[in-house]
Amino acid sequence: MGGADDLFGGAGLGLAFSMLYDALKELITKNVMFTPLLKRIQSKLDLLAPLLKDIEESNKKLDLPVEELKKLQVHLEEGIQLLSKCEKTQWWSVAKKYKYARRLNEWNESLQQHLEILNVQGIRDVKDIAVTVKIIEEAVGRIELNQLIPKQLDCEAFCAVPELPPLVVGLDFPLKELKRKLLKDENVSMVVLTAPGGCGKTTLATKFCQDKDVKDTFKDNIFFVTVSKKHKLENIVQDLYQRKGIQVPPFQNEVSTVTLLQRFLKQEGQSPILIVLDDVWSGSESLLEKFDQFKTENYKFLVTSRSEFRGYGFPCSLQPLSHDNAMKLFDHSASLGDKSSHIPKDIPEKIVERCKGFPLAITVAGRSLCGQPIEIWQKRELDWSKGFTFLDSETELLFILEQSLDALDKEMVAIKECFLDLGAFPEDQRIPAAALIDIWAELYDLDTDIECIANLHKLTERSLANLVVTRKDKIEGDGYYSEHFVTQHDVLRELAIYNTKKGPVERRKRLIIDICGDKLPKRWREQKQMKARLLSITTDEGFSTKWSNLQMLEAEVLVLNFQTKNYALPDSMVNMGELKALIVTNYGFLPAELSNFQLLSSLPNLKRIRLERISIPSITKNPIQLASLKKISLFMCNIDQAFNNCSISISSAFPNLEEMNIDYCSDLIELPAEVCDLSKLKMLNVTNCHKLSALPEGIGKLKNLEMLRLRSCTELLELPTSMKNLGKVHFLDISDCFSIKVLPEDIGEMSSLRKINMRQCSRFQELPPSVKGLEQLKEVVCDEEAKYLWESFSSYLKNVSIIVAKENINLNWLHKTQ
């Protein structure tokens, strides 16, 4: 974009637009508080510029609606004033940040309304001038296509560059070569980086993306896509669009998907663009071909793979670490240094030599020996000396990793079991910690979520997995784990799968099945009875849900992963009398229709159900009764009017339910009143449901409720007055509920309340006098402004600790459904 004098001859509407655009660019460079929203407004203005130019030129000859054009000009001038006020906003003022963030969003939405009105008026007044109509319609259409998608999850999480490990060694020269080819060689648009698994390809690609020269070149046009073995082009295109916050048009077929990819690349490729395709498997030539056709200076693609792709891109091979770099990495992983004087130098040397320069093997081996006595080191070196010496590199890597896994001491046996359970989830997918909590609570009798999370930390310490927390404002110890996820290197997942396959299939603890199309395993056709406690079944888009009779009488946990629009639970579930936990995850785009849900009524021990991307109305058509169910979790599900149209009441279906979790369910507008009839309910978590505007007044009937979490329900206007009857609630979380202005007048009657989290509730102007009666209150988490409100009651609340949460304004709540 040019300056204020470059557009439309500097007159009228064009001048207002130019001044607004220049002010917007300047504010983006100076003010990081509103950057995500400002950039999205900038994207809309980029699309608006040619429309305004065409309108002004056309209006010289045509009688376009001058009144509407004048209103648009006034709106642009109001935008200039608003940006001026945003520039003066102080970073520590949460209330003002909230105020102006909301005003920016309202201004942005109003701009869209002006354009739509102009579109209608233009068609009405100049309907005989087809060219002018087409100009307006096409421009408005472009803007509508680029509207922000509903922010169920942070768009920056899609195609985001991973974090680097704590120590990276031996990649300076390979990085220099990548930069030479992708930044300086105009004849190279694609580089294919190859090496065996665990050699550091992803780490090098990550380091490349985080390099200053690379970021200066591509700016925010860097996309990191994990492809995986069973990739779908639709998934990749979906993630690319969502990363830019663009509404994804529906996919009709492969041709339309390719067209959408080409449209995205052409649009984003107006500026330099870098796309990393990580972990591309052999046989994926057709995928690379769709990207390789963009061979211009602005398009750069970095592919990582274990396989070479002749004819595609410039080949580049990543070599294992040198001995010196391998020793540096091992010393760091094993925390050697001064404390290692009792370890003879030759033992680490031999162990590192055995690792063949593979960073993954070196890290895992080092972490497994960290802090161990010398006898353990000596035994490890002895065990490894007996290993094979003429294996291919990847088999050798698995051997090394398995030795490290087997070396876990008796106290870590449970951690090994947890590691093996990670194989129950598909490759290259983030595993929700909440799902693992449900699994481990039933398999290993873990009484608290904290124990499960502690196990994940131990796996991370051993470099056997990576625990990722997507909440930047995480408050430790608040018991909220819906935004904890686990990632794992695909070689480590292969190790887990390999270990689960040891021994006769009928006697394995875990049965992990991956089905392609309708090709069911032979053992199913043989109908042998199996003793596995955990059964995981992953199917692809070609599966028709035609199940064979599966004899799994002792299964306690069932994990079902699928991608189809319609999915039926297996009929043989009726025989799983020991089943305690059911995890159903749809990895497709939209909530799926789930049938056969009524089969669960035959399971007398089922305690936990977790459903992800499921259409809830599809499971409430038939009556069910789950007398043993204690916990149900709905993540990114389509709820709509499901509970209102149930063939049976919620309280009758789940008479003993103690915990209900509803998270990222974007169509939930009002919590069903029937929830208030769940008399045994102890925990109610409704989080990130941005359209939720009301809670039922009858919520006070939940006499046994102990925790009420309403985090990030940004449209929730008020809390019911009947909450005063929740005498057992000890923790109330209304953080990021921006629209709530007051606490219930009689909140002081919540006699057991010990903790309140009201961070980012910046509309609060006062507290009700009844808070003086909160005698058990020990902790309040809030912002700086709310701190003073609570301090005014300090003479009554003498034991209350007020914790001021760190500033981290989250504008995701601003994005509304278009």
Give long-range contacts, CB 8 A cutoff, 24+ apart: 716-724.
Answer: 716/692, 716/740, 717/693, 717/741, 718/694, 718/742, 719/695, 719/743, 719/744, 720/695, 720/696, 720/744, 721/697, 721/745, 721/746, 722/697, 722/698, 723/699, 723/747, 723/750, 724/700, 724/748, 724/749, 724/750
Residues facing residue 560 across a β-bridge: 537, 584
Per-residue pLDDT reduced to its tens digit, 438-448: 999 999 988 88
712: left (phi over 0), alpha (psi -120 to 50) or beta: left
Q: Return the amino acid letter for 620.
A: T
Q: What residue has token string 């046994």? A: 704
Six-digit token string for 597: 């849900």
DSSP string across 481-493: -TTEEEE--HHHH
- The H or E element containing residue 148 is none
Chain centroid to CA 211: 24
Task: Judge whether 721 and 695 are in contact, CB under 8 Å.
Answer: no
- The H or E element containing residue 666 is none
pLDDT for 389: 42
CA-wise closest residue to 192 among 100, 65, 280 = 280
Q: By CB neighbour count within 10 A (0-12 exposed, 13-18 middle, 19+ buried), where does 186 fall?
A: exposed
440, 581, 683, 684 from 631: Cα distances, Å: 14, 9, 9, 10
pLDDT for 152: 40
Per-residue pLDDT reduced to its tens digit, 13-37: 778 888 888 888 887 776 656 666 6
Residues of the chain with pLDDT under 70: 1-12, 30-37, 47, 50-66, 89-99, 102, 115-157, 245, 247-252, 336-342, 384-396, 407-411, 471-477, 521-528, 545, 618, 620, 641-647, 806-818
Tell me how crowded residue 71 is: count the other CB atoms within 10 A of its CB.
Answer: 14
> DSSP letter at 665?
-
pLDDT for 529: 76
Q: Return the amino acid letter for 178.
A: L
pLDDT for 206: 94
pLDDT for 143: 43
Task: Judge whether 814 and 101 are in contact, CB under 8 Å.
Answer: yes
Per-residue pLDDT reduced to its tens digit, 304-321: 998 888 888 899 999 999
pTM, 2 dp:
0.71
Six-digit token string for 215: 């970021």
Angle between helices 323-333 and 346-354 (to 10 degrees): 110
Q: Is 557 helix (H, G, I), strand (E, B) or coil?
A: strand
**What span, in angstroms and rounded, lies between the C-alpha atoms of 96 and 102?**
10
The residues, any chain, with a CB within 8 Å of residue 333's CB and separated by 6 or more, are 167, 362, 363, 364, 365, 366, 367, 370, 463
Task: Judge whether 768 and 792 are in contact, CB under 8 Å.
Answer: no
